[in-house]
Amino acid sequence: MIEPAQEAFSGFVFKIQANMDPKHRDRVAFVRIVSGRFDAGMQVLHGRTGKMVRLNAPQTFMARERTAVESAWPGDVVGVMDRRELRIGDSLATEPGVVFANIPRFAPEHFARVILSDPMKRKQLDAGLRQLTEEGAAQVFFTSGTDVTSPTPIVGAVGQLQFDVMMHRLAHEYGVTARLEKINSRYPRWITGSESDLARATRDPARTLLYDSKGQPLLLFENEWRMRWALDHEPGVTFHEVSQ
């Protein structure tokens, strides 16, 4: 347990937001302070990589207004400029050994292929989907490992509104015009097991094999009955509701 009154600084990243200032393509990581005192420009240990990072240009936000912050305390939230070093759930501390539990991420309930209107915009689409994934605003899947050159990337969302927000941001922040083609399969389950067991489990044509942004395999099922059947008849495979 880490008490707020402890002197050593600690905190965690709970949100990433890009393009808050479209003119500068900024990327802000929001840090919740758990213990100790935060000072502008301080260097802290990045729990995931073990490297030292400097927390530059801290700010607080109220609607469209930003206010520079010199110091902050447990319970405060500050936004720091991020150069793609930080991710949601990252632990930051002045002392080694501080790693907070991961922030839960809901499994998608809806899936759709992203169909580009202009194939020449593929690079912008990849950049936009990568950023939205890092923010947690979308989950992107591929049909072959982490092959971002896949002709039709697949996006997952918890609800339809998430799709609407995703398409709006792609259009207004990355200049990408696209449409979504819904996939009937759902009920995602991440799978782990031996190579032979996984190969057998993924051969069934009624199951759709995908890979998430970290290269982890998962299966989509046409209906709940097929999912239950797989859980009962694939003893060598472990099915997970969320990515491990």
Regarding whether 229 and 137 lie in a shared domain, the answer is yes
- CA proximity to 114, closest of 168, 182, 215: 182
Instruction: Provide the CATH number for the domain around residue 73.
Output: 2.40.30.10
Q: Write the single-letter amino acid at 148.
A: V
Q: How far apart are CA 237 and CA 240, in angstroms?
A: 10
Regarding whether 216 and 121 lie in a shared domain, the answer is yes
Regarding whether 163 and 190 lie in a shared domain, the answer is yes
Range of the domain at 33: 10-93
Regarding whether 196 and 156 lie in a shared domain, the answer is yes
pLDDT digits (tens, 9 = 90+) for 105-140: 778 999 999 999 998 999 999 989 988 888 887 889
Regarding whether 152 and 71 lie in a shared domain, the answer is no
pLDDT digits (tens, 9 = 90+) for 54-94: 998 899 888 778 899 999 999 999 999 988 889 899 999 99
Regarding whether 132 and 199 lie in a shared domain, the answer is yes
Sorted by sequence, the CB contacts under 8 Å of residue 80 that are 6+ apart come out as 28, 29, 31, 55, 56, 57, 58, 59
Regarding whether 121 and 81 lie in a shared domain, the answer is no
* Number of separate domains in the chain: 2
Instruction: Provide the CATH number for the domain around residue 143.
Output: 3.30.70.3280
Give the confidence band of 20 by pLDDT, cuts at 50, 70, 90. confident
Sorted by sequence, the CB contacts under 8 Å of residue 28 that are 6+ apart come out as 16, 17, 18, 20, 59, 79, 80, 81, 82
Regarding whether 204 and 127 lie in a shared domain, the answer is yes
